[in-house]
Every structure is written in structure tokens, then in C-alpha cells.
């Protein structure tokens, strides 16, 4: 990381100047040491921003396992042209640098679960300039349903926690939803959508009618009650569900609710049915 490398010239330079100031009696060296010491402090405080700037300028490559995951298990990625694939790979490689994955009740986290979460976030924000959901830097994964301080009375499978900047998942539910999204709800996309909505309150969102749950059931065959049971919480944001279905059931969504589909495309600057170039306004993304 760039910030670690910068410690060497700032730290060595400051120590050297202090040493020369003491041994030679030349106070000029002491004055030179001051900006070097200030640079050392700034580098310490700003190290995340410095490293992020460096990685955006020189993006890391996605490792072999990540490449294999995308090629084998993510249809959205496979339809992209070469430029789109590079964009997706770079963003997926950057995602873990902005987040900390925290396994709970187990010692380690399967790599595929991290890939599912990163790929879901990148897919959701593929048409946006800001794609990291950075304010939600802590991603917590339990093996199965869990209780939390926010919902101490409900065993549930996922939630966002804005106060602590966290997204919490049940690994079992997350993987079921990713592997069989037509049978189980895609909780990774759902919580990424919830986080994105919370981080973008000033966007112009579609107005959802009173019959939105009937529309969403017609698109996915998931009733409101079945989704409440799957997630484990009584209140589910239909906007987050709409965004999730927009990606998982794109063709059916456009058939059943073409106006809402178009409005979500404009909101996300993305049309999943557009094939190799799904970004609508390239300059905005």
C-alpha cells in the first residue's frame, strides 16, 4: 500500500534531520524536520484515502478464484463486453479494500460468500460512479439466522445497521438466494439495495402504488408473506425488493411492470436486458 511506503521517506527524513540538528548544532535541520513530521502525521490520518486514490489510479487485478467465480456463476458479468468485464473485475477487486468481512460464530469465512456479496454490490452499482457502499464498511456474516441489537425479538436472515455502518447476513440464506434466486430470495442484492437507498436519499425514486406487492409477486412469485418469513422481519422495504427483482427477474419485470422497469433503469443508470453494454448514460457512470 502506498501509505506504508510513504512512512519510509517521511519517518527516515524526520529522524535524520533531528539527528543532524543535534550532532551539528545547525537548527536548520530541526526546522526541516517539522514539515516531514507533519507529513508523517497526515499520512497516518489519511492512509485509507491515500491508498484508495492509489488503487483507483492503479487498480489491483482480480485473483484467479474471483475470475472463476464470475465466469461460472454470474450471468450479468458473462454478457458484458470486454470493457464492461474489466470494469466489473476492477470494482470487485477494489470492494474488499473498502470493507471488512467479519465472520461470527465461526473462525473463517468461505471465499465464495465474500465473492457473492462483492459481486452483488458491484452489479447493483455498475452504472454509478460511487460503487463501494463505503459507509457500510463492516460486513458481518452469521452461519444462519440471528438476533441483533436492532431486532432482538426476531430471528432474521439479514439487515443493515446504519448507525454502525454494517450489513449483516445469514450465510445460509445468502448462498441459497444467490444459487437459486428463483426459489429463494436474493438477500445479498436486497441488503445492498437497502444500503444504497439509505446512502442516496436525494435521488428521485419511483412512486410505488398500493398494489406494489401484488406486482412484485406477479414478477417473482414471492408473496409479501413468504418474503417476511424468509427475511424474518415484519417490515420489508418494497423499493429494495423492486431493485432486487429488477436484476433477478429482469425479463419478467419488464413484461409485468414496464413503466417501473424504465424508472428503475433511469434511477440506477442500468438496463440489465441491454446485453454487453447495460449502462444507459456512460458519462454518468
pLDDT at 244: 98
Under-70 pLDDT residues of the chain: 1-7, 10, 12, 29, 31, 36, 39-40, 43-57, 282-285
63 secondary structure, DSSP code:
P
What are the boundaries of each domain within the chain? 2-56, 61-284
pLDDT at 117: 97
Q: Let me know: does 88 contact 122? Beta carbons within 8 Å.
A: yes
Q: Which three cell numbers stand for residue 34?
A: 517539522
Enumerate the β-bridge partners of residue 158. Answer: 169
pLDDT at 14: 72
Instruction: State the Cα–Cα distance between residues 202 and 64, nearest whole angstrom.
Output: 38
Helix (H, G, I), strand (E, B) or coil at 159: strand
pLDDT at 134: 83
Within the chain, residue ranges assigned H as helices are 2-24, 27-45, 47-57, 64-73, 75-78, 82-94, 111-124, 171-179, 187-199, 212-220, 224-231, 238-248, 250-256, 258-268
Write the DSSP assignment of 125-158 as a string of letters.
TTTSS--S-TT--EEEEESS-B--SSSTT--BSE
pTM of the shown model: 0.84
Amino acid at each position: 500500500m502506498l501509505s506504508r511506503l510513504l512512512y519510509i521517506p517521511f519517518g527516515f527524513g524526520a529522524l535524520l534531520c533531528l539527528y543532524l540538528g543535534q550532532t551539528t548544532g545547525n537548527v536548520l535541520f530541526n526546522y526541516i524536520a517539522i514539515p516531514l513530521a507533519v507529513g508523517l502525521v497526515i499520512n497516518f490520518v489519511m492512509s485509507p484515502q491515500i491508498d484508495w486514490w492509489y488503487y483507483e489510479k492503479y487498480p489491483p487485478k482480480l485473483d484467479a478464484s474471483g475470475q472463476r467465480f464470475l465466469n461460472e456463476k454470474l450471468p450479468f458479468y458473462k454478457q458484458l463486453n470486454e470493457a464492461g468485464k474489466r470494469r466489473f473485475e476492477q470494482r470487485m477487486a477494489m470492494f474488499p479494500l473498502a470493507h471488512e468481512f467479519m465472520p461470527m460464530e465461526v473462525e473463517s469465512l468461505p471465499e465464495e460468500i465474500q465473492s457473492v456479496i462483492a459481486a452483488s454490490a458491484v452489479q447493483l452499482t455498475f452504472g454509478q460512479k460511487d460503487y463501494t457502499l463505503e459507509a457500510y464498511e463492516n460486513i458481518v456474516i452469521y452461519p444462519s439466522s440471528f438476533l441483533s441489537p436492532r431486532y432482538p425479538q426476531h430471528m432474521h436472515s439479514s439487515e443493515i445497521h446504519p448507525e454502525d455502518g454494517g450489513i449483516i447476513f445469514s450465510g445460509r440464506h445468502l448462498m441459497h438466494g444467490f444459487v437459486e434466486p428463483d426459489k429463494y430470495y436474493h438477500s445479498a442484492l436486497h441488503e445492498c439495495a437497502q444500503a444504497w437507498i439509505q446512502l442516496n436519499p436525494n435521488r428521485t425514486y419511483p412512486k410505488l402504488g398500493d398494489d406494489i406487492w401484488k406486482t412484485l409477486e406477479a414478477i417473482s412469485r414471492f408473496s409479501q408473506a413468504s418474503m417476511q418469513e424468509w427475511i424474518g422481519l415484519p417490515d420489508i422495504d418494497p423499493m429494495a425488493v423492486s431493485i432486487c427483482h429488477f436484476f433477478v427477474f429482469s425479463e419478467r419485470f419488464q413484461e409485468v411492470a414496464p413503466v417501473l422497469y424504465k424508472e428503475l433503469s433511469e434511477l440506477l443508470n442500468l438496463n440489465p436486458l441491454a446485453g454487453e453494454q447495460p449502462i444507459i448514460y456512460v458519462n454518468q457512470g
